[in-house]
Amino acid sequence: MNRTAIVTGAARGIGAATARRLAREGHAVAVLDLDESACAETVRDIRAEGGQAIGVGADVADATAVTSAVDRIVDTLGPPTILVNNAGVLRDNLLFKMTEDDWDTVLSVHLRGAFLMSRAVQSHQVEAQWGRIVNLSSTSALGNRGQANYAAAKAGVQGFTKTLAIELGRYGITVNAVAPGFIVTDMTRATAQRIGIGFDEFVARGAAEIPVGRPGEPEDVAAAVSYFCASDTGFVSGQALYVAGGPRA
């Protein structure tokens, strides 16, 4: 059955790969990001393959913007019953250098954003008596130097996921988390720049610590998200799946 899906932070990287994957599986996809114009390439890729997609600009941490975005999606594509909360930002720093803004921005986008989007979409899922919410966590939820804000947010995402799974399960809605490890994206490139090493060297160092011997690609994460969004995974809920090439990488 074809459904309407929303993927946040879908202009590039993991979000774009996930939007393309869900579209290939027959879903109409709302490609949501802060800057609507940045969504154009993902939308174009989906349409070029015969899929249905629209770009939507919204700040997921802004309640009014989220409500307006979801209303627009309902009017254009139909009520959304699949939600992938992928939008995120980095403001890495050691604790003594981290500012209040660094902390608030990361917690706001990752946690408040997931909360606002889930709250806005769940009413459509409850009405349909079916839904899939997939939240993006990270291996950083287990702790990572220089990422007190990001680690706290991603650990919070897992607690949020498990609670929604309990609350929404009776309505045929599953809620799961995917926790990527070292994935080659623009955010990874930004981390390399922050610590002052070349990107190729950074990737090589990361791959050397991964049991499968390579870094992850956005498509690896999209495959895991796709599993949780499937119609036949209705007995899997409240889980956090680490996509990291090993037990922890």
DSSP state, residue 93:
B
Report which of 162, 184, 187, 188 is spatially closest to residue 175, judged by C-alpha positions: 162
Dist. CA 45–CA 62, nearest whole Å: 28
> Which spans in the chain are helix H?
13-24, 40-48, 63-77, 100-107, 113-128, 148-168, 186-195, 199-208, 218-229
Q: Which two tokens stand for residue 225?
A: 């998200």
Report which of 194, 197, 172, 188 is spatially closest to residue 221, judged by C-alpha positions: 188
SS3 state at 88: coil
Report which of 170, 75, 164, 72 is spatially closest to residue 126, judged by C-alpha positions: 170
Query: 150 an active-site residue?
Result: yes
HEC sequence for 29-51 = EEEEECCHHHHHHHHHHHHHCCC
CA-to-CA dists, residue 16 to 7, 12, 22, 152, angstroms: 8, 5, 10, 25
Annotated active-site positions, please?
Answer: 150
